[in-house]
Structure 1
Amino acid sequence: MRPSPFLLSLAAVLVTACTRQTQVSAPPEAGSLAVTTAVVVRENRPALIEMPATIRPVERAVISAKLTGTIATLPWGLGQAVPAGDVLVTLAVPETEARVRQAQASLAEAARATERERTLVAKGVNAPDSLRDAEDRLRFAQAGLAEAEAMLAHASIRAPFAGVVTEKTVLPGDLATPGLPLLTLESTARLRAEGAVPEQAAATLRIGDSLPVVVQDGAAPVAGRIEELSTAADALSRSVLVKVALPAGSARSGQFARLQVTAGASDSLFIPATALTRFGQMERVFVVTEGRAVLRLVKSGRTIGDRLEILSGLNAGEQIVLTPPAALRDGQRVTPQS
């Protein structure tokens, strides 16, 4: 028995209604997020190598005693700034003080003897040679007193220059002997980054040239100036010692640094620094691919102005997201904006 036309029409209406209901109930696709983008560019720039260096002061003194004595005062602590000429350490030296008093007594005796001989020679009682002998003894006594006073002056050890105490090896009451280090004084006015540079890269360096120095990771290099450059290379490491003067206040003594030395030229990829985000030790960039933001792990290199060198993870010409919004997720549809 064939179905009637009415039943066929009713079935068609029901199928159409069900299809429309299914289409309406499907979940809508997430909306597109508007983002600002830039393009990864390739440039031929001088290749830089970074060599480890150490920040050291130009002026540094290990303070020692010239006398044997007990440390009476040591008023300065670690990190304290000491003006030039201020007393760093005072020694108790009773033996030297006694020697000064002895020299003073000998000088007074020699002065009286000289005056007496001068009077006797003037009266013709003694020969002129006796006066000359007395004057020689007087000069000898004067020299002895000057020597004793000079030794006593070493009981007060003064700062040879303005600086900061960076090390103390003794305390009040300890015995100081000649040559024993008491403390270390370093000047903070002038600091240098000292490091070894490969001899081939050092061939282009000259005293007075500007040399970038990376003092802190992630920060822009500090513009330094080459003050000293060894003319001989180390036979084992095949490197040359370079000392680079730094601007005041840009580093601390003993700090690790890196010297950026030019070694030829190479092609490098660069992106705006705002395109890179960090999550722990990972460096990330969102790449726009077929209208979606794809999260890509990268490895960055040097920073030049507001741009960042990319060592791996990107290709030239790729479109990347600048200042990725916090709501941006991997694979999300985006709308690039210039």
Structure 2
Amino acid sequence: MNKKVIWGAVLALSVAGVAGMNIYSLNKTIDVSVTQAEEGAISETVFASGQLESADVQNYFAPASGVVDKVEVRAGDAVKKGQTLYTLRVEDLQQQLRMEQNNLKIAQAEREAARKQQDAANANPLVPKQEIDFTLYDMKIENADLAVQAVQKKIASATVTAAKDGVVTHLDIKAGQIVMEGAPALVTANLDALQVRAQIGELDAGKVKQDLTVTVSGDAFADNTYSGIVSYLAPTASLSNPAAKDPSVEMLVTLDNSAPELRPGYNATVEVTLTETQKHPLVPPEAIKREGEKALVFRIENGKSVAVEVKTGKEDDTHVEILEGLTAGEEIIASVPEGLRAGKKVKVQ
């Protein structure tokens, strides 16, 4: 037999086979399940990282220059309001007080001498009347009196007491140490009132509002999570550290409650769930077929699949938001099987 005839026969059989398979494929019924697009909103979650700190911190500074006499507390000690924290030696202050008191007496004596001089001159009929301006004398007396009061106040404050209950978290002084007025001495903090100072990225900062409820977790939290509220958002963004490339916004989160395992300084993660108020039709992710830039869902009409192009929005693990092309309550194929396209015969299982 001629080879050309044989190859022609083979080719014809192949074409016929492919055509037959295509016809079979077109006529094959695909089993599908259906679902209804439900109306709802998809929540978005954003995260911020930061550190735990006390929301109630009290800083104590040296009330006067001098020598620390006694330190009554140690770092980690719990203190009560009114409890003595430390004292300064007051010998130098007492000497200064005596000097200022002497200056006050001198100023008062100078004014009195001027008054007597005026009275004596005015008592002599042969001498013209004198009217001395006592303004400068009075100012000198007032300044001297203020200086006395200032030293007395320093002496009274030489015994430093706790302004409120707390725990000593930092201690910067020791007995015998010379301190300058205003130098840091110690810090106390209320460990039952904790907050997270966090940095939230510039892309997410605009989505977060004050008073929003959040969840706080951390590696050192013993697998526990804590609720809190956003108590502060900085009005400006900045670089959180010299190595940062993108600016962030400082955020404070006040914890609703505390626990023994929580300590200031621990790293913390703030999870913010943003609930969308506007509702849209929601469908399962597997109900959508992607073809390049297009997103399709399939309805069933007269036993055949009908492709509907839709515009999608946010999505999570279980739902995709449909912005255009579908309304809530419409029935669609729940999971697009492989090979499904418009016009295919389908059967609902």
Band of TM-score, shorter chain: 0.5 to 0.7
The residue type paired with residue 65 of structure 1 is: A
In the other structure, the counterpart of 2:98 is 101
In the other structure, the counterpart of 1:171 is 174
Q: Distance in 1 between matches of 2:202 and 2:51?
A: 19
Q: Distance in 1 between matches of 2:232 and 2:160?
A: 31
Q: In the TM superposition, what is the alpha-carbon distance from 1:86 to its structure 2 partner?
A: 4.4
1:184 aligns with 2:187: yes
Q: In the TM superposition, what is the alpha-carbon distance from 1:80 to its structure 2 partner?
A: 2.5
Per-residue CA deviation, residues 258-295 of structure 1 (Å, 9 max, x unaligned), is 21123765216xxxxxxxxxxxxxxxxxxxxxxxxxxx
Q: Distance in 2 between matches of 1:142 and 1:178?
A: 21
Q: In the TM superposition, what is the alpha-carbon distance from 1:168 to its structure 2 partner?
A: 1.4
Per-residue CA deviation, residues 106-151 of structure 1 (Å, 9 max, x unaligned), is 3234435544554564563594417555444432321231233244
Q: Distance in 2 between matches of 1:211 and 1:84?
A: 33
Q: 1:151 to 1:213 in 2, by over 3 A?
A: same
The residue type paired with residue 181 of structure 1 is: P
Q: 1:265 to 1:230 in 2, by over 3 A?
A: farther
In the other structure, the counterpart of 1:227 is 231
Q: Distance in 2 between matches of 1:56 and 1:87?
A: 25
In the other structure, the counterpart of 2:254 is 245
- 1:190-205 matches, within 5 Å, as 190-205=193-208
Q: Distance in 1 between matches of 2:139 and 2:246?
A: 62
Q: In the TM superposition, what is the alpha-carbon distance from 1:87 to its structure 2 partner?
A: 3.8
Q: 1:144 to 1:169 in 2, by over 3 A?
A: closer
Q: In the TM superposition, what is the alpha-carbon distance from 1:101 to its structure 2 partner?
A: 1.0
1:148 aligns with 2:151: yes
8 Å contact from structure 1 (residues 230, 241) kept in 2: yes
Please state whether the residue corresponding to 2:68 is helix, strand or coil.
strand
Q: 1:150 to 1:169 in 2, by over 3 A?
A: same
Q: Identity rate of aligned residues, in percent?
A: 20
Q: Distance in 2 between matches of 1:189 and 1:129?
A: 65
Q: Distance in 2 between matches of 1:73 and 1:266?
A: 62
Q: Distance in 2 between matches of 1:204 and 1:140?
A: 57
8 Å contact from structure 1 (residues 65, 154) kept in 2: no
Q: Distance in 2 between matches of 1:45 and 1:132?
A: 77
Q: 1:267 to 1:179 in 2, by over 3 A?
A: same
TM-score, structure 2 normalization: 0.54
The residue type paired with residue 167 of structure 1 is: H
The residue type paired with residue 197 of structure 2 is: E
Q: 1:106 to 1:178 in 2, by over 3 A?
A: closer
The residue type paired with residue 244 of structure 1 is: V
1:257 aligns with 2:254: no
Please state whether the residue corresponding to 1:98 is helix, strand or coil.
helix
The residue type paired with residue 203 of structure 1 is: G
Please state whether the residue corresponding to 2:191 is helix, strand or coil.
coil
Q: In the TM superposition, what is the alpha-carbon distance from 1:209 to its structure 2 partner?
A: 1.0
Q: 1:195 to 1:140 in 2, by over 3 A?
A: closer
In the other structure, the counterpart of 2:317 is 267
8 Å contact from structure 2 (residues 43, 273) kept in 1: yes
Q: Distance in 2 between matches of 1:179 and 1:133?
A: 32
Q: How many residue pairs were aligned? A: 224
Please state whether the residue corresponding to 1:225 is helix, strand or coil.
strand
Q: In the TM superposition, what is the alpha-carbon distance from 1:54 to its structure 2 partner?
A: 0.9
TM-score, structure 1 normalization: 0.56
1:65 aligns with 2:62: yes
In the other structure, the counterpart of 1:207 is 210
Q: 1:258 to 1:108 in 2, by over 3 A?
A: same
Q: Distance in 2 between matches of 1:266 and 1:238?
A: 27
In the other structure, the counterpart of 1:77 is 74
8 Å contact from structure 2 (residues 196, 252) kept in 1: yes
Larger relative strand fraction? 1
- 1:123-134 matches, within 5 Å, as 124-125=122-123, 127-129=130-132, 134=137
